[in-house]
Structure 1
Amino acid sequence: MTKLALGTHPFLLGFEQLERLVERTAKSGNDGYPPYNIEQTSETSYRITLAVAGFSEEDLSITLEDNQLVIRGKQSDDGEGRIFLHRGIAARQFQRSFVLADGVDVGEAVMENGLLHVDLTRSVPESVVQTINIRRS
């Protein structure tokens, strides 16, 4: 018996990109830094919160690339000329990626107490019923 891939199932017409999307999400390279939360704030809205202590707004960038929300952080190295006896505060760059479904829009982004909040809203499509006429040939 041949196992069908998710995106190639005969009842899922037009969803070929779904399997590529799942693979891209699995390979996004997120290594756990920085930690984040995803919460549902209403029936149609979400909030992603990243712990970005030590980063300023200028150190962060948020882009939307092909339905993929990408949050990047890069700090300037201010340790030049300083001697650290212990350096436990991470000062490394990061990239966090989140794949968004069609109809999910990125709202505002707010920095608050070392946390970056990114608000998302999902528009609910209206149900459409279309009747197809059958033509005799």
Structure 2
Amino acid sequence: MRHFDLTPLYRSTVGYDRLANVLDQVMSGDVSQNTYPPYNIEKTGDDAYRISIAVAGFAEADLNIEAREGQLIVSGRKAEDENAPKPSYMHQGIANRAFERRFQLAEHVHAKSATTENGLLHIDLIREVPEALKPRTIQISTKNAIEDQSANA
């Protein structure tokens, strides 16, 4: 019997409740195995999340955050100055390569804000379910109570 490791699903989805759609993406090969740049996803409240991406060396102008079709797309590209001298590295351990990171968002989850701090890009997400879609309690009445109300009316 074949064992499927579902760990990548939990790393690239935020607030996602329908596992079947994610399984379809994995089976079709849509989930990339790219590990750059590293990131964290944390739950900061009942309906609040935060994605933190390590973007050391990138200025705010080098970063782009876009939400479309249920995805949050974060990309970074260093602006190259042709007049600037090219460094001669003895060792280069800090990657300055361009990147694009995609996160599948659940319904009603959207980006609220984004900030950079200490080489990290923080994207705060919130789930806002419309009132019409929220569960509501329906009062149960007995038959006698209904008859009494119609008699009083």
Q: In the TM superposition, what whole-angstrom CA distance separates every residue of 1:5-35 from its partner, at most 9, and x where no partner exists?
A: xxxxxxxxxx9x9369634995243511000
Q: In the TM superposition, what whole-angstrom CA distance separates every residue of 1:34-73 from its partner, at most 9, and x where no partner exists?
A: 0000000001100000010000100100001201000000
Of residues 127, 135, 152, the one that matches 1:127 is: 135
Cross-structure match for 2:72: 69
Task: State the SS of the aligned residue for 2:25.
Answer: helix
Task: State the SS of the aligned residue for 1:22.
Answer: helix
**Given the superposition, is the C-alpha separation of residues 42 and 54 from structure 1 closer, same or farther in structure 2, using an over 3 Å criterion?**
same
Stretches of structure 2 that go unaligned for 5 or more consecutive residues are 1-17, 138-153
- Of residues 53-62 and 24-33 in structure 1, the stretch that sits farther from structure 2 once superposed is 24-33
**Given the superposition, is the C-alpha separation of residues 77 and 41 from structure 1 closer, same or farther in structure 2, using an over 3 Å criterion?**
same
Higher Rg of the two aligned structures: 2
More helix, by proportion: 2
Provide the rounded CA distance (Å) in 1 between the counterparts of 2:57 and 2:92: 13
Provide the rounded CA distance (Å) in 2 between the counterparts of 1:59 and 1:19: 30
Provide the rounded CA distance (Å) in 2 between the counterparts of 1:109 and 1:30: 25
Task: Map 1:29-108 onto structure 2 (within 5 A).
Answer: 29-77=32-80, 80-108=85-113
Number of aligned positions between the proteins: 114
Would you say the 8 A contact 1:25–1:99 is kept in 2? no
Provide the rounded CA distance (Å) in 2 between the counterparts of 1:33 and 1:21: 24
Task: State the superposition RMSD in angstroms.
Answer: 2.7
Cross-structure match for 1:6: none
- Of residues 20-29 and 85-94 in structure 1, the stretch that sits farther from structure 2 once superposed is 20-29
